[in-house]
Chains A and B, each alone.
Chain A
Amino acid sequence: MADLLSSTFAALADPTRRAILARLTHGPATINELAEPFEMTLPSVSRHVKVLEEAGLVSKSREAQFRSCRLETLPLEAADGWLAEYRQFFSERIDRLEAQLKVMMQARTNDSKDGDQ
């Protein structure tokens, strides 16, 4: 688990690889298609795709002569689920902050009423 997350985060740390993943959210693409938006040689795009493949974020289909790459979402979901507990902790704290602010605003209104009298 830790190893998978480690490679997921390492793969996501690079902006080119994040852009490749963003492109793949629209559907599978070949290396040629992935290389189009970048001023980069095909081999260097291939290297980035290989890192994503090793992290389990991308898989290649073997059908046809040109292999297309597709996005695998499972590792991303694992990385996200990892933070879920902390997110919940703070989300609940903010609910209580809202209740606290309501009390403070009520006290303000009362103070200004008192001031008017």
Chain B
Amino acid sequence: MPRTYELERGFTLTRLLNAPVEVVWQAWTEPKYLDWFFNPGTVPVWPTSVELRVGGAWRQHMVENATTEYMTGGVYREIVPNRKLVFAWGARGGWPDLDEGNGPEVTVDLTPMGEKTKMDLMLRLPDQLSAAEAQAWMDKGIEPGMTMTIDRLVARFAD
């Protein structure tokens, strides 16, 4: 059964970015620019890798602390250079774990606005997930999200 994403189980984040669309594209697709996807202040052991083709994987090592580390990234589903990137968010054996079935799909839409770029980031859960399965996916988000928040608050007050 093909995946569908018609239920409103997701969200969209829209941001006007202070860089032209090709720079934003590089920041999303070139390993040397992808450090922003790490948690701040962590040192990854494995280098980030990107295989930019449909079905290819972007893999990134996340280190939370001495005891928590995982692979994240995505598997690309649609690639339109400088315009659109669609990926299944996560990594095999990582977080979110792509081995556990259909998880969240992320769509990044880029619209050039002169020297700036409007970015719409949409996250959707497939309709085929039951509420309990979707809840399980959601629960995976809590710990890293919270850690990020605390780190960011500390960084903000340190400025």
Contact = CB atoms under 8 A, between A and B. Distances in A.
Interface stretch (A46-54, A66-74, A92-100): A92-100
Contacts of B144: 89
A104 B27 contact: yes
B93 interface: no
B36 A99 contact: yes
Contact of A85 (B17, B106, B121, B145): B145
A9 to B, nearest CB: 5
Given A6-B131, A101-B23, A95 B7 contact: no
10 contacts: A2-B131, A13-B7, A82-B135, A87-B13, A92-B152, A94-B15, A97-B27, A104-B26, A105-B18, A105-B19
Given A89-B141, A97-B17, 17 more contacts: A2-B131, A2-B135, A6-B130, A9-B131, A83-B9, A83-B10, A85-B141, A86-B138, A87-B11, A89-B144, A94-B15, A95-B152, A101-B17, A101-B23, A104-B26, A105-B19, A105-B23
B123 interface: yes
Contacts, number: 100
10 A-B pairs with least C-beta separation: A6-B131, A100-B36, A96-B36, A101-B19, A85-B141, A5-B131, A89-B145, A2-B132, A2-B131, A85-B145
Q: Indicate the size class of the contact surface on chain B.
A: 35 or more
Contact of B23 (A1, A85, A104): A104
A100 B24 CA distance: 9
A86 B23 contact: no
B109 to A, nearest CB: 13
Q: Which of B24, B123, B130, B141 has the most chain A CB atoms closer than 10 A to its own CB?
A: B141
A83 B11 CA distance: 7
